[in-house]
Amino acid sequence: MFNKRFGFSKGDEILKEIALILCNIFPPSNSIIARFSDDNFVVLTDWATVETCIDTAQEYLYALHENVTLRLRAGIYFPSDDDDIRSSCDRAKLACDSIRKNHSVSSCMFHDGMSRELALQQYILDSLDSAMKNGNITVLYQPIVRLATGKICEAEALARWNDPEIGIISPAKFIPTLEQYREIPKLDIYAMRNVCADYKVRREAGLPLLPVSVNLSRLDFELCDIIQEIESAVSLCGIPRNMIRIEITESINDEDMTALNLGIEKFRMMGYEVWMDDFGSGYSSLNVLKDYSFDTIKFDMKFLHGFDVNKSEKAKYIISSNLEMARLMGMQALAEGVETSEQLEYLRSIGFDKAQGYYFGRPMELDDIFALERGIETAEE
Ligand code: C2E
Ligand code: MG
Ligand code: MG
């Protein structure tokens, strides 16, 4: 951001200033100081008061540039004798990254939990290809219900990883890892192909069908030709585009706006519905709504967390006014995370179109959705 605002040469100057600050605070006589990459520095020191030093460095940095806030973040690792330098740096970096979103602290000490986290991340990256090839990653479907009829109108496809060596790996672990290391398109394309294959089996057997929503990462739009990938999966199995919905989470940042915006528009023009996932969970929800066009907004389940129809006055104001906003913008509204009949009744009373959550069913095999008692809306291909 600094480079964008002030230019690269000013950015270079800042890096030099930071280097000087570090040299002043950690005396070169008993420290090694280096620039690691980009805006990452590494300090090897026997200075006992390292945390205080970091705070002092931060104060210098604030004082140096009063017109912009440059926040320093540090990860600390105490290497033992048998640690090599590379893994020591990795661990310090891991500790540093762990406070990325926490603006109230400037440093963090590495602990063993982070090491396990690192090992799991490595395992996920190393085994992704074989997990897909061996069918350890599968897709389950969660029903989505239309509130006006009470019937199932769609299903969301959700990836599941059941690993023979380490058991179930939660999407909360493997999705962020694959995003961080930019491998997410592989999974999303694989999930899409599985959805198409499942759909084709039912269709060829003459069984009832449901439109399915699939989750895409905003990175898919940057890293591959995701439209082409989806198109080829869909056409290979002869699935009409109006039977597939594309879910994109709202955690979209400014940089990839163009590719994503074009992608969303193109998907919609081609006849796919595009849904905004997890609305309300990030800091820029409203801007995303302003800048992109969606057919449906999925309200994040946090809106309903701890919801009590007789007590949660504020939650009700927020939910109903956001619903009104969706209406004014011509979008359908879907509530995620519905777990109780009270929640369902409230959502129905204020006019939500659809809902999804454990109350209706957990993610399950596609065929099992059709066996649920509440019934299925007939879908026209
Ligand atoms: P999401 O798309 O918002 O999916 C909804 C998540 O909420 C799912 O978790 C689902 O099991 C869970 N859920 C549904 N109803 C309830 C409820 O009533 N209560 C509670 N507490 N939870 C409920 P899951 O399957 O663990 O997926 C987590 C996230 O991982 C998904 O959130 C989605 O963002 C991502 N994800 C899953 N599969 C894929 C995929 O194939 N590709 C990509 N890019 N992301 C995926
Ligand atoms: Mg989703
Ligand atoms: Mg969601």
Report DSSP letters for 283-306, one per residue. Answer: TTHHHHHHHS--SEEEE-GGGGTT
Residues surrounding ion ligand 3 at CB below 5 Å = 277-278, 336
* Site of tokens 């389950």: 140
> Of all atoms in ligand 1, which is nearest to the CA of residue 178?
44
pTM of the model: 0.83
Across-strand partners of 345?
none
> Of all atoms in ligand 1, which is nearest to the CA of residue 191?
41
Mutate to test the pocket of ligand 1, among 138, 144, 158 (most ligand atoms within 8 A of CB): 158
Q: How many CB atoms lie within 10 A of CB 366?
A: 21
In whole angstroms, give the CA distance from residue 271 to residue 242.
6
Residue 313 CA to ligand 3 centre (angstroms): 23
- Under 8 Å between Cβ of 239 and 259: no
Which two three-digit tokens encode residue 11? Answer: 């950015």
Q: Whose CA is nearest to atom 28 of ligand 1?
A: 171
Please tell me whether residue 328 adopts helix, strand or coil conformation: helix
Q: Whose CA is nearest to atom 24 of ligand 1?
A: 171
Residue 215 CA to ligand 2 centre (angstroms): 5
Mutate to test the pocket of ligand 1, among 215, 252, 260, 303 (most ligand atoms within 8 A of CB): 215
Across-strand partners of 296?
275, 332
User: Ligand nearest 159 Cα, by number?
Assistant: 1
What single DSSP character describes residue 365? -
Residue 77 CA to ligand 1 centre (angstroms): 34
Ligand 1 pocket, CB under 6 A: 142, 158-159, 171-172, 175, 184, 187-188, 191, 215-217, 247, 249, 277-278, 301, 336-339, 356-358, 363
Q: Whose CA is nearest to atom 37 of ligand 1?
A: 158
Specify the long-range contacts of residues 46-55, CB closer than 8 Å, at least 24 apart.
50/76, 50/107, 51/76, 51/107, 53/25, 53/26, 54/106, 54/107, 55/106, 55/107
Could you read off the pLDDT tens digit of each residue along the chain, which spans 381 residues?
888 888 999 999 999 999 999 999 988 888 999 998 889 999 999 877 888 899 999 999 888 877 788 889 999 999 998 899 888 998 999 899 888 777 788 899 999 888 888 889 999 999 999 999 999 999 999 999 999 999 999 999 999 999 999 999 999 999 999 998 899 999 999 999 999 999 999 999 999 999 999 999 999 999 999 999 999 999 999 999 999 999 998 665 656 578 889 999 999 999 999 999 999 987 777 888 888 899 999 999 999 998 888 888 999 999 999 999 999 999 999 999 999 999 999 999 999 999 999 999 999 999 999 999 999 998 777
Q: Could you please report the per-residue DSSP string of 126-193?
A: HHHHHHHHTT-EEEEEEEEEETTTTEEEEEEEEEEEEETTTEEE-HHHHHHHHHHTT-HHHHHHHHHH
In whole angstroms, give the CA distance from residue 220 to residue 243.
21
* Site of tokens 């705070």: 55
- CA 29 to chain CA mean position, Å: 45
What single DSSP character describes residue 52? H
> Of all atoms in ligand 1, which is nearest to the CA of residue 359?
18
Residue 301 CA to ligand 2 centre (angstroms): 11
Across-strand partners of 108?
75
- Under 8 Å between Cβ of 331 and 294: yes
Residue 300 CA to ligand 3 centre (angstroms): 6
Longest Cα separation, the chain: 78
- As a dihedral over the C-alpha atoms of residue 159, residue 165, residue 170, residue 173, rounded to 10 degrees, the angle is -110
Residue 294 CA to ligand 2 centre (angstroms): 14
> Of all atoms in ligand 1, which is nearest to the CA of residue 300?
3
In whole angstroms, give the CA distance from residue 243 to residue 154.
9
- Under 8 Å between Cβ of 34 and 19: no
- As a dihedral over the C-alpha atoms of residue 73, residue 220, residue 217, residue 284, rounded to 10 degrees, the angle is 60
Residue 190 CA to ligand 2 centre (angstroms): 16
